[in-house]
Amino acid sequence: MAPVFDYAPAPESRSIVDIAPSYGLFIDGEFTEAADGRVFKTVSPSSEEVLSEIAQAGEADVDRAVKAARKAFQQWSALPGSERAKYLFRIARIIQERSRELAVLETLDNGKPIKETRDADLPLVAAHFFYYAGWADKLEHAGFGTSPKPLGVAGQVIPWNFPLLMLAWKIAPALATGNTVVLKPAETTPLSALFFADICRQAGLPKGVVNILPGYGDTGAALVAHPDVNKVAFTGSTAVGKEIAKTVAGTRKKVTLELGGKGANIVFDDAPIDQAVEGIVNGIFFNQGQVCCAGSRLLVQESIQDELLDSLKRRLATLRLGDPLDKNTDIGAINSEEQLTRITSLVERGEAEGAERWSPACEIPSAGYWFAPTLFTNVTQAHAIARDEIFGPVLSVLTFRTPDEAVAKANNSQYGLSAGIWTEKGSRILAVASKLRAGVIWSNTFNKFDPTSPFGGYKESGFGREGGRHGLEAYLDV
């Protein structure tokens, strides 16, 4: 079906952001080369254009950064909370001032639509700094005793799907509670963290309080294993999370892990269908499905399966895939070639196992990494696409007949991060929510985030909570 109206291109100007040809590591308040001189390139996934050359931190750099953070810890933790709060408020304000620049930068480096960086990521980044700024001088009211103490140096490793937002989730509570940090951004999305280093400079943050070390998995592993790191915070895959749990075994390091998910989005026969369809789309196609809490398993009550799927397919046909800097784009690029390969191979496995694949007619750009929104029907619980986290725009549809069956299928997963419930019946929402083994449950909505709201998983989706009062515990000696 041809669209009645075509949209004119509406590209966001990229002149607002000035990307330097190369960036160093940010250690002790200075940009510096890696000790062994290694560098890597970061590319724009929508065009494969090289954006910049980045210094790659090795073990010696990790050691230098941890030393800087240790030195800075003495003064930073001794500051009155009200002073730390003001630094965090400053950072929040500067983020707001520079949010258009940061949104464009994030879209360039990550490949996600400007609509999402502008309207979701950046407002949430600022909100997290605002929220935790206010905690810095009120920690004795947080429920962790009358004088909760910081842990020391926090080693933080974050993923590429929400680069600046994950930085905010990690750095804001760490600084509010008086810790200093060494943060490793993902190798495919290091730029916004390096711009954040400049925000620290503008805010006058004391040297060494925040250190940024771009690099690959080995950099992260060195940081996690460093004997002078007191706290490890990681967001990423379950497999790496397990490695980290083994690395910190037998040490006194406190650890929090935000890992994978295979969220069940349960639609009952009395659900508001139009809202549910929007929620399903948002649940699995937000950020190209590269979201750990994505609603990647649709559990639909059998009696409304046809009606819902017709409606869903009609809606998917209206999604616009293409230039992430275009304000009308719904689906941007997959973050990297490696991730695209992973999605492709899991989808091929779904077909090989007998599930039925469907995508709307969709033009794929010639350069960059792209994957059309995809849904699978005839999926059983035994299929890999129903069990494994795909981390892409791929929805697996399963059916159920009774609420108990929905709960059993939803819980039939090694993961337990998120779930959705769609029904007009309040008692059903509460009953099902209480039975689901997941840390975040959205009823009649999906993929909502807020700094005051704890986020984190059950089972192999990791442990600890980020956000809210609960998020403070991860950075306090309690």
Partner 1 sequence: MSDERLSVFKTYKLYVGGKFPRSESGRVYEVTDSKDNWLANAPLSSRKDARDAVVAARKAFGAWSGTTAYNRGQVLYRIAEMLQGRRDQYVREVADAEGLSKSKAAAQVDAAIDRWVWYAGWTDKIAQVVGGANPVAGPYFNLSSPEPTGVVAVLAPQESSFLGLVSVIAPVIATGNTAIVVASEKSPLPALSLGEVLATSDLPGGVVNILSGRTAEIATPLAAHQDVNAIDLAGADEILAKELEIAAADNLKRVLRPQPVDYIATPGIDRMTAFLETKTVWHPTGSLGASGSSY
**Site residues (CB under 8 A) for partner 1?**
127, 143, 145, 238, 241-243, 245-246, 249-250, 252, 257, 259, 272, 274-275, 278, 414, 429, 433, 438-445, 448, 450, 452-456, 458-460, 462-463, 465, 468-470, 478
Q: CB-based contacts of 217: which residues, under 8 Å, 6+ apart? A: 240
Min dist. Cβ of residue 213 to partner 1 (A) = 24
As a whole number of angstroms, the distance between CA 261 and CA 238 comes to 9
Catalytic annotation present for 258: yes
Min dist. Cβ of residue 210 to partner 1 (A) = 26
Q: CB-based contacts of 226: which residues, under 8 Å, 6+ apart? A: 62, 63, 66, 155
Min dist. Cβ of residue 155 to partner 1 (A) = 17
Q: CB-based contacts of 37: which residues, under 8 Å, 6+ apart? A: none
Closest by CA position to 416, among listed 381, 384, 441, 448: 441
Q: Give the residue with the Cβ less far from partner 1, 19 or 133.
A: 133
> How many other β-carbons are positioned within 10 Å of the β-carbon of residue 139?
23
Q: Given 116, 187, 258, 389, which residue is catalytic?
A: 258
Q: Give the residue with the Cβ less far from partner 1, 111 or 439.
A: 439
As a whole number of angstroms, the distance between CA 291 and CA 298 comes to 15
Task: List phi, psi (to 5°) of 453.
Answer: -110, 120
Per DSSP, the residues of 97-124 read HTHHHHHHHHHHHH---HHHIIIIIHHH
Place of tokens 């994505």: 294
As a whole number of angstroms, the distance between CA 102 and CA 122 comes to 8
As a whole number of angstroms, the distance between CA 439 and CA 458 comes to 6
Q: Give the residue with the Cβ less far from partner 1, 126 or 193.
A: 126
Min dist. Cβ of residue 372 to partner 1 (A) = 24
Q: Give the residue with the Cβ less far from partner 1, 268 or 455.
A: 455
C-alpha 204 chain-centroid distance: 28
CB 154 within 8 A of CB 184: no
Q: Give the residue with the Cβ less far from partner 1, 26 or 169.
A: 169
Min dist. Cβ of residue 392 to partner 1 (A) = 23
C-alpha 245 chain-centroid distance: 20
Q: Given 116, 187, 200, 292, which residue is catalytic?
A: 292
Min dist. Cβ of residue 194 to partner 1 (A) = 28
**CA distances, 227 to each of 67, 70, 218 (Å):** 11, 12, 16
Min dist. Cβ of residue 391 to partner 1 (A) = 18
Q: Give the residue with the Cβ less far from partner 1, 188 or 282.
A: 282
Q: Give the residue with the Cβ less far from partner 1, 347 or 440.
A: 440
Closest by CA position to 160, among listed 43, 331, 65: 43
∠ CA 151-153-154, rounded to 5°: 90
Q: Where in the sequence numbering do the catalytic residues fall?
A: 258, 292
